[in-house]
Amino acid sequence: MRKIEVGILGATGMVGQRFVSLLEHHPWFEVAWLAASERSAGRTYAEACNWRLREPLPKTARELPVEECKPGKAPQLVFASLDSKVAGEVEKEFAHAGHVVVSNSSNHRMDPDVPLLIPEVNPEHLALVRVQKHERKWKGMIVTNPNCTTVGLVMSLAPLEKTFGLEKVMMTSMQAVSGAGYPGLPVLDIIGNVIPFIGGEEEKVERETRKLLGKFVDGHVLMGDFAVSAHCNRVLVEDGHTESISVSLRTKATVEDLIEAWRKFHARPQELHLPSAPKHPIIVREERDRPQPKFDVWTENGMATVVGRVRPCPVLQFKYTALSHNTIRGAAGAALLNAELMKAEGYLD
Ligand code: NAP
């Protein structure tokens, strides 16, 4: 199969670098075009980008020129990881010009005609792009993935919602510093500290969770019928968002039932053998002190959600811990899996 050329908007940032790295040996896609702000435009990627990943900057991207974020020369498929201050307008401009924009940014996630997608959870929501193209008269489209904190929560909730129904969800996060982009927080603000505020994050988690677990009926998403409350905190961890979650379910269940629902969870990406799909989307750890970001964040190449410590909750019914890699499964890996699903389902033809 000839590889599909792709572009990256925001290629120099934390998530953009993850895209470049994950796409280096991708069997279906290859990076052909990179763009960032006018500060970076006109330089080669190696000059413009302050490469912060442990793996080396791929040779194939090193000498590519960084362009301005203007449609025209970009390939049809573009991954987007732009600063949210500019992402909204730039993404619309690209979709209008005929590009398929697979975005990480929050700007369009809650638009009623834009799919907010986790391929294991709500692949049927992808059909919203037909409504989007019709209503906006775009030749292209925008598809989004959730916030990096939402994704681990929703991956762990999806089998519970499907098997038992959800009534109430409480989530307290301990979020990695890489979630704030590069260079991120000043070291004196975060070292030896926990910051109990991340602007807009709690609201994003609460509304995105209900959209992702909502039903797709007659071209609309009906928001999930359960309550979600999120407390979001920044902690001094490099990668990996850890979440303490409590849930009330609509039908009777035991701790063993929850574990079985997670272990049995397989979905569309696994059936389709999508290249970035984890073999097991949810891994249950049985040790009493796992998951931990230090040991578990790279499970299934950073694409699995790791859960553990499931036990009864005296306030809601059950409580457990979930961990997910914020710049892989919560960002670049999520968008890549979205594009793979789109390719496999014929949305890129
Ligand atoms: P980042 O490291 O700050 O990178 C931002 C990117 O946007 C850079 O490539 C930057 O280019 C570009 N940019 C900034 N201002 C621009 C402008 N005026 N015009 C064009 N390009 C501009 O941020 P990040 O962490 O990669 O996050 C990128 C997006 O993904 C954000 O919307 C964020 O909310 C979302 N996201 C991040 C994570 C995460 O874990 N980090 C997870 C999920 C979603 P220059 O280098 O040229 O300035």
Give me the residue spans of the domains in the chain: 4-147+332-344, 148-325
Secondary structure of residue 66 in the 3-state scheme: strand
Topology at the third CATH level for domain 148-325: Dihydrodipicolinate Reductase; domain 2 (3.30.360)
Q: With 90 as the cut, is the pLDDT of residue 1 above it?
A: no
pLDDT value of position 182: 87
Q: Whose CA is nearest to atom 22 of ligand 1?
A: 37
Q: Using the CB atoms, write b or e for 99-112: b if 16+ within 10 Å.
A: bbbbbbbbbbbeee
C-beta of 178 in contact with ligand 1 (< 6 A): yes
Quote the CA–CA distance of 159 and 155 in Å, as a whole number.
8
| Tokens encoding 167 | 């009534």
C-beta of 13 in contact with ligand 1 (< 6 A): yes
Diameter of the chain measured on Cα atoms: 60
Percent of the chain residues past pLDDT 90, beyond the cut: 98
Ligand 1 centroid to Cα of residue 190, in Å, is: 20
CA dihedral sign, ordered 88, 90, 93, 96: negative
Q: Which atom of ligand 1 is nearest to the CA of 105?
A: 32
Burial of 145 (0-12, 13-18, 19+ CB in 10 A): buried
pLDDT value of position 206: 98
Per-residue pLDDT, averaged over 98-103, amounts to 98
Q: Whose CA is nearest to atom 18 of ligand 1?
A: 37
Q: Which atom of ligand 1 is nearest to the CA of 84?
A: 32
Alpha helices by DSSP H, listed for 215-305, are: 255-264, 268-271, 293-296
26, 125, 241, 280: the active-site residue: 241
Q: Which of 9, 40, 81, 104, when mutated, tests ligand 1's pocket best, judged by the most ligand atoms within 8 Å of its CB?
A: 81
Quote the CA–CA distance of 1 and 51 in Å, as a whole number.
31
Computed over every residue of the chain, the mean pLDDT equals: 97
148, 232, 280, 325: the active-site residue: 148
Q: Whose CA is nearest to atom 4 of ligand 1?
A: 13
Q: What is the pLDDT of residues 271-280, one digit of tens each?
A: 999 999 999 9
Total-model pTM: 0.97
Q: Which atom of ligand 1 is nearest to the CA of 179?
A: 40
Ligand 1 centroid to Cα of residue 278, in Å, is: 26
C-beta of 84 in contact with ligand 1 (< 6 A): yes
Which residues, at least 6 apart from 283, have a Cβ–Cβ distance to it below 8 Å?
296, 299, 300, 304, 305, 306, 307
Q: Which atom of ligand 1 is nearest to the CA of 41?
A: 47
User: C-alpha distances in angstroms, 51 versus 17, 21, 232?
Assistant: 7, 10, 28
| Strand-pair partners of 319 | 246, 311
Q: What is the pLDDT of residues 148-195, one digit of tens each?
A: 999 999 999 999 999 999 999 999 999 999 999 889 999 999 999 999
| Strand-pair partners of 36 | 68
Per-residue pLDDT, averaged over 220-240, amounts to 98
Instruction: Note whether 131 and 219 are within 8 A (CB).
Output: yes
Quote the CA–CA distance of 290 and 310 in Å, as a whole number.
11
Instruction: Note whether 19 and 332 are within 8 A (CB).
Output: yes
Count CB neighbours of 25 within 10 A. Answer: 10
Secondary structure of residue 333 in the 3-state scheme: helix
Ligand 1 centroid to Cα of residue 191, in Å, is: 23
Q: What is the pLDDT of residues 237-266, one digit of tens each?
A: 999 999 999 999 999 999 999 999 999 999
Active site residue 108: no
Q: Which atom of ligand 1 is nearest to the CA of 66?
A: 47
Best CA proximity match to 205, nearest among 75, 111, 99, 109: 109
DSSP state of 65: B
Quote the CA–CA distance of 46 and 125 in Å, as a whole number.
38
Q: Which CATH number is 4-147+332-344 given?
A: 3.40.50.720
Active site residue 148: yes
